Amino acid sequence: MSCLSFCCTDFHRFIVATSKARPALVCSEAFSAFLFKHCPVVAERFSPTPWCWGGRLQTLVCAALKSRPPVSYRNELIRTVDGGQISLDWVDNQASVTYPESSTRPTVLILPGITGNSQQSYVLHAVSQATRHGYRCVVFNNRGLGGEELLTPVTYCAANTSDLECVVQHVKGLYPTAPVLGAGVSLGGMVLLNYLARKHTESGLVAGITISVPWDAHKSSDSMEEPLNWLLFNRHITRCLHRAVTRHRKILEKVVDVDYVLKARTIREFDERYTSLIFGYNSCMDYYRDASPGKKLPSTAVPILCLNAADDPFSPQTAFPVSVVQDLPNVALVLTSHGGHIAFLQGFFPLGESYMERLFGQFVHAVFEHQEEMKRACGIKEEQMKD
């Protein structure tokens, strides 16, 4: 079976016309063969929950009803070169039968979404999937969101990868012979892809997987500012951003007008008044241009799997980098017609694991258990990979 190959127009027509079809798989023939063999879920028909059809409803229902597997974390605070600190939540999985030696136990590094942390349901499910296979997990909580205090007036953004680089170096320092896979969700996926593009062959990661990445920050903001999307999603996320700033007001008011920031009514206004200033951009437009990962994929050098839904209100399908990925040996897009944002609900009672979790579990297992085969499928030579 070969991968599906589309020009952009054909792809959009395909997505609109098919509601219970197999997901569109856009990648090289060799990578698709690897995925069909080791991630059979990509060849299955995706049928969304029948009473939860649209992307907005999928997103809302998932956030409200998704189960929360019990996970016990070990917290670690690490320092950064600028004097700040990052909160890491570990699941060491010392009881792993598959990998009893901690020095060689594969590690899944998870990057949550814009205001998320290790307690989000999608993170808990990812940890559950990975530990079931015998792997170790570590959740990289963005500065100020992991329960720790800000020591410097710096938080995070989709374009800045210095904190992720610090975390990867720390994890590799602890377990130099254990492979590490990066898993980014929404904004976390943007950070991961930007990091992989910047570090190229020296990322320290053997592969990456992203869920519901906004490929173009401008188009994402436009979509999120549509009246219904603003009412259902944008307003809520902006309020969450306000709470994060309020919690760390004392140190942040040294560099921004906090009262002005807290009057932002949209994510874009927040980024104009806060994020772009904190990270030294001349404008929010410049920040969004730098943060958008779609056109940077040719600079990546490890296998990457990206899952998106065409009805995701956060990530419009017009921004999906289909034409870019078609020419790359190491990147695969799995695109469903329905699924919303970080949802992909199936079954009449969609409380447990969904298509998203199944794909995540299968890909992580495929990466760690078939590394050499995966490298060959993606045209990666051994000397290109510097773990």
Report CA-CA distances (Å) from 46 to 180, 207, 328, 354, 373: 29, 25, 25, 10, 27
**Closest by CA position to 214, among listed 316, 311, 141, 127:** 316
**Of 312, 315, 338, 354, catalytic:** 312
Ramachandran region of residue 340, left (φ > 0), alpha (ψ -120 to 50) or beta? left
DSSP output for 11-32: HHHHHHH-SSSPPEEES-HHHH
If one counts every other C-beta atom within 10 angstroms of the C-beta of residue 313, the result is 22
Q: Cα 226–297–213 angle (5° rounding)?
A: 35
Give CA–CA dist 262/241, Å, rounded. 9
Identify whether the C-beta of residue 126 lies closer than 8 Å to the C-beta of residue 357: yes
Q: Contact, 193 vs 296, CB < 8 A? A: yes
Catalytically annotated residue among 96, 341, 354, 365: 341
Active site residue 186: yes
8 Å CB contact between 177 and 103: yes
Any catalytic annotation for residue 341? Answer: yes
In eight-state DSSP terms, residue 317 is: G
What is the rounded radius of gyration, in angstroms, for the C-alpha atoms of the chain? 20
Task: Point out the catalytic residue in the list 186, 276, 337, 354.
Answer: 186
N-terminal to C-terminal alpha carbon distance within the chain = 32
The region that residue 331 occupies, defined by phi over 0 for left and psi between -120 and 50 for alpha, beta otherwise, is beta
Cα torsion through 304, 59, 12, 357, rounded to 10: 30
Residue found by looking up tokens 């409200």 in the block: 64
Active site residue 218: no
What is the H or E stretch that residue 162 is in?
helix 162-174
Please give the Cα distance from 205 to 212 (Å, whole number). Answer: 20
Which positions are catalytic?
186, 312, 341
